[in-house]
Structure 1
């Protein structure tokens, strides 16, 4: 159970906490959260055996983990100025910074500022409530800020129709991440490490039900012989002496089998040998030559681990978006916690049908049905096939389960009405 310890001056937020936390329990998005009122001047958030201290008085120089500034009087600082401040201060969180074009929320991320933008910000009270509730539900800061803005906008658009009582669901309510691909980034004065890029080639959803991820060309070859039409080569060690040869081998094998074979990370080799596609992580968006990948006609898959990363990935119009990790996994060190089925279903709904979606992380045959019912386009598996006694039988069993009648719908609890 999480605990929110709140100062009395935040008492006007009480009604919003009740609505937000009830919606979170309705959608099974985390452990229950207890709200406690105290005389402390700051907010205390206890979740997962750690304590977060937050203040809405950013001028304080105390030991707060987050110092939130969300009340503004003219003259307003420039976005560029605030971007530099946030990049230098890991504790500073900026909410609703007014600009000539709209409103910006910013936070610190590994030595730089990240931000989301929207034309209408919504009221401050529900924004604050969702920010605190999301942190208590164990969402990372970037997701808490993003959800808070979406909830405030939901309330702004349809407060009389019950929207205040539901979790933000629709993409139109969410702010857009500021990236080089954002149409107003330059006018706002936002400085990006990424470069703008055209949309990537489309993947073929009809071939995307089962997505084995394997660590050798030999395994890719075996999978193609078993009838697999989508797979990924993920060799973790960049110093592997046979790396280039294995990449060449799987690309050639995929072309011969007319299958979708993705290369994880090694985009230069993928371009050189004309791969079907490349799969990258979020950190690669700032370092990989996305324009070269796009111009070479390669498909692009992007990993995501929550609301902000999903919305950021969508800005680059990839061929598919991977959602993970869903269950605990030991195949690689993960930057986030397991998302679970309930969050997966809402992420899939957020993306809609604009991009194919791939669920990944700890999925075996016993879990495949429940994952598939969330409406994802594909289920990525690793050990469920490579460590099976009979890999061919495992592949066949997955394909028998990953069949969806038309039309395709995600399985979600019935939600209250909300703004479109």
Structure 2
């Protein structure tokens, strides 16, 4: 699937602890029905083969709604599953290495917390950046915080589209309006909600407002 910046509008990241025993594939589909534009499969407890198997379940669901499936960290699992790409952190496999192995059509996202990291990811041919944590994160309690001014500086420094991430909810997303992000990435605000589809619908509206300002 060809990467388009609008795929970042509402970027949902899975977290099994948020699901409270609910089926992952069913909840992902509800999120997509609510307006999610990209799904990232994140499960650090699985090995490469197990993660690939989980991803295989989600690929056709995501594609039915025109959304890419991105696998967190493990680009080899993404390739095995036929997923659309991988998102890598600062300490994971270098973007340039993944690009060399996976090819030009493989979507690669990279985490950036500084202008320097953002510029390096762009140089290595990442497709987009995940920048945060912009708020305290319930899923990554030790995440380094960045301010709206930091987010604005990073988005202005690169040509790559940026998804803001970290503790974003429908109630606080307005605080990063006008910071240059192309979308928002959320975990618990969608998958911990009692009504995943309704939560996604509201967040999609708020994400578009944040982009428009």
Contact 2:11 2:184 in 1 (8 A): yes
CA distance in 1, matches of 2:210, 2:53: 40
Deviation for aligned residue 1:264? 0.7
| Residues 290-343 of structure 1: per-residue CA shift (max 9 Å, x gap) | 311225x21110011112211111111211011111122231364x62002121
CA distance in 2, matches of 1:239, 1:377: 32
Out of 211, 214, 236, the residue aligned to residue 14 of structure 2 is 214
| Residues 39-97 of structure 1: per-residue CA shift (max 9 Å, x gap) | xxxxxxxxxxxxxxxxxxxxxxxxxxxxxxxxxxxxxxxxxxxxxxxxxxxxxxxxxxx
- Is residue 2:95 matched to residue 1:274? no
5+ residue gaps in structure 1?
1-200, 410-420
5+ residue gaps in structure 2?
17-23
Between Structure 1 and Structure 2, how many residues are aligned? 204
Which position in structure 2 is the counterpart of 1:291?
Answer: 100
CA distance in 2, matches of 1:338, 1:247: 30
Out of 238, 261, 265, the residue aligned to residue 69 of structure 2 is 261
Which position in structure 1 is the counterpart of 2:156?
Answer: 349
- Is residue 2:31 matched to residue 1:223? yes
Measured at CA, do residues 241 and 222 of structure 1 come closer, stay the same or move farther in structure 2, by a change above 3 Å? farther
Structure 1 segments (4+ residues) deviating >6 Å: none
Contact 1:203 1:320 in 2 (8 A): no
Aligned 1:12-411 pairs, distance under 5 A? 203-215=3-15, 217-218=24-25, 219-239=27-47, 242-286=50-94, 289-295=98-104, 297-332=105-140, 334=142, 337-351=144-158, 354-404=159-209
CA distance in 1, matches of 2:29, 2:52: 16
* Larger-Rg structure: 1
CA distance in 2, matches of 1:384, 1:333: 15
With normalisation by structure 2, the TM-score equals: 0.84
Larger fraction in helix: 2
Deviation for aligned residue 1:356? 0.9
CA distance in 2, matches of 1:404, 1:215: 26
CA distance in 1, matches of 2:129, 2:103: 16
Which position in structure 2 is the counterpart of 1:55?
Answer: none
Measured at CA, do residues 256 and 391 of structure 1 come closer, stay the same or move farther in structure 2, by a change above 3 Å? closer
Measured at CA, do residues 405 and 234 of structure 1 come closer, stay the same or move farther in structure 2, by a change above 3 Å? closer
Which position in structure 2 is the counterpart of 1:31?
Answer: none
Which position in structure 2 is the counterpart of 1:164?
Answer: none
- Quick one: higher RCO (CA 8 Å, sep 6+), 1 or 2? 2
The CA RMSD over aligned residues, in Å, is: 2.6
